[in-house]
Structure 1
Amino acid sequence: MEFSGNPIEKKSFEFSLMIIEKYKEMQAQKEFILSKQLLRSGTSIGANVQEAQAAISKRDFAHKMSISSKEARETKYWLLLSQYGGLVELDLESILEKNEELIRMLTAIVKSSQKALSKHS
Structure 2
Amino acid sequence: MSNVNISIQERTENFAIRVVKTYSELNKRDFDDAGKVVSKQFLRSGTSIGANCSEAKYAQSTKDFINKYSIALKEASETLYWIKIMIKSEIVSKSRFQNMIEENERIIKILTASINKLKEKQST
The normalised TM-score by structure 1 is: 0.89
Alpha-carbon offset, residue 89 of structure 1: 4.6
- Deviation track 1:69-112 (CA, whole Å, cap 9, x = no partner) reads 11100000001111121134571001111101101101111111
- Deviation track 1:2-24 (CA, whole Å, cap 9, x = no partner) reads xxx96101100000011011111
C-alpha distance in 2, partners of 1:6/1:64? 19
C-alpha distance in 1, partners of 2:45/2:123? 29
Query: What is the root-mean-square deviation in Å for CA atoms of aligned residues?
Result: 1.6
For 1:109, the equivalent position in structure 2 comes to 114
Matched letter for residue 116 of structure 1: K
Alpha-carbon offset, residue 60 of structure 1: 0.4
Aligned-partner SS, 1:28: coil
Runs of 4 or more, structure 1, over 4 Å off, are: none
Aligned-partner SS, 2:27: helix
State the percentage of identical aligned residues: 37
The normalised TM-score by structure 2 is: 0.87
1:1-121 equivalences under 5 Å are 7-29=7-29, 30=31, 31-89=35-93, 91-119=96-124
Paired residues, what number? Answer: 115
Matched letter for residue 23 of structure 2: Y
Give the unaligned 5+ runs of structure 1.
none
- Deviation track 1:36-70 (CA, whole Å, cap 9, x = no partner) reads 10010000000000110000000000110011011
Matched letter for residue 118 of structure 2: S
